[in-house]
Structure 1
Amino acid sequence: MEQPRKPPPYGSAQSGGHLFGHIHFTDREAAEIQGRLKQQLGPEFVSTRSGPGGSKVSYIEGWKVVNLANDVFGFNGWSSVVVSTEVDFVDATPDGKIALGMSCIMRVVLKDGTFREDIGYGQSAGSRSKADAFEKAKKEAATDGLKRALRHFGNVLGNCFYDKEFIKQVGKVPTGLVSPIGNTPVAILTSVYLSLPAK
């Protein structure tokens, strides 16, 4: 079995000798970031795909959550690294196509050293070569792991997708109700908050 590769410590010679991971946020920066992380996402960030039993699964696309992370933490305020990958299966079909599944642990590190990790999964079915199968599965697993790690920081980075009541209500909100954060429109869904039952 492949041994997990540990990423080099931030600020080490291996990572370029810089101080990333040891740069503190100011009190003002921390308060602004915390405020942004608590916000919910608007309907313009919600994509859907088919799920089991004819259900619909809501999710955020990878490029959108990367843009949001850049806006929340700053383009130089966060980083991500592949902690480990593991191939779960590689099968060849009778017609010579390759099916492959793999998992990937991703770590997201903020400039002050705060980090979150989660596991992502990727698969390829029907690829014509192992190279194509690995390329698709690795990218999918890394993107999935990145999204899952980022969501641990707060609602605006995808954690709101785990709130079933929010998902139910967000579909009722017109996409025009947005308020800008940086250069990205992030919805502050007052109408959703008002329609949610009191806890």
Structure 2
Amino acid sequence: MPPAGEISQFTAEQIATLQAKLEKRLGPEYISTRPGPGGGPTITYAEGWKIINLANEVFGFNGWCSSITNLTIDFIDAHDTTPPRYSVGTHCITRVTLRDGTYHEDVGYGTAENQKGKATALDKAKKEAVTDALKRTLRSFGNLLGNCLYDKQYTEQIKNIKLPPVSSAVAPDYYLF
């Protein structure tokens, strides 16, 4: 065992390999776009499930975990309609911890507008806040987990790359039904 404060060569190699992976940027297959609020500029983002899959690939399915450290309802508005409709805003602070104890935290926000039921509005806003917080926290680990999406020059370049269409003629062999 190395002296306190030093790391073994094996651990140093693991860290270097992990760092090299995290420095890579997301490929176009991981990036989505949508119109900005009010018809503003296009927003470039990565879907939550894709980032979670990447985190599993990079850290291993058992090499990281996430926890909600705070989930707060910021507002619940009942609209004066018959039947009433609801809008909700929530924020969430999430922590992602790696197997070695390293962790990052960040905040995410979620909204649900004009929903038919209060429970539905709360559910949607909370899920959105948790996913947003998880994605923001994972990006703290590096480009591969979404930090590259904050580089405007990169996102402009990646938008111009056209992906070949996915063929659905053959189902993958990993389906179990």
TM-score after normalising by structure 2: 0.82
Which deviates more from structure 2 when the two are superposed, residues 163-172 or residues 25-34? 25-34
Find the partner of 1:124 among 95, 99, 112.
Answer: 112
- Count residues in correspondence: 153
Match of 1:59 in 2: 45
Match of 2:14 in 1: 29
Q: Is the 8 A contact 1:121 1:144 kept in 2?
A: yes
Identity %: 51
Structure 2 segments unaligned to the other structure (5+ residues): 1-7, 165-177
Quote the Cα distance in structure 2 between the aligned partners of 1:55 and 1:172: 16
| Paired AA for residue 49 in structure 2 | W
Match of 1:164 in 2: 152
Following superposition, the deviation at residue 83 of structure 1 comes to 0.4
Following superposition, the deviation at residue 174 of structure 1 comes to 4.1
Quote the Cα distance in structure 2 between the aligned partners of 1:151 and 1:171: 20
Match of 2:69 in 1: 83
Quote the Cα distance in structure 2 between the aligned partners of 1:35 and 1:115: 18
Q: Is the 8 A contact 1:39 1:156 kept in 2?
A: yes
| Paired AA for residue 81 in structure 1 | S
Quote the Cα distance in structure 2 between the aligned partners of 1:132 and 1:72: 34
Following superposition, the deviation at residue 87 of structure 1 comes to 1.1
3-state DSSP of counterpart to 1:153: coil
TM-score after normalising by structure 1: 0.73
Match of 1:142 in 2: 130
Q: Deviations over 1:34-57 (max 9, x none)?
A: 010000111111101111453100
Match of 1:11 in 2: none
Find the partner of 1:50 among 35, 57, 79.
Answer: 35
3-state DSSP of counterpart to 1:65: helix
Quote the Cα distance in structure 2 between the aligned partners of 1:28 and 1:79: 22
Following superposition, the deviation at residue 112 of structure 1 comes to 0.7
Quote the Cα distance in structure 2 between the aligned partners of 1:173 and 1:122: 30
3-state DSSP of counterpart to 2:33: strand
Structure 1 segments unaligned to the other structure (5+ residues): 1-23, 177-199
Q: Is the 8 A contact 1:42 1:175 kept in 2?
A: no
Q: Is the 8 A contact 1:80 1:109 kept in 2?
A: yes
Find the partner of 1:97 among 85, 91, 94.
Answer: 85
Match of 2:174 in 1: none
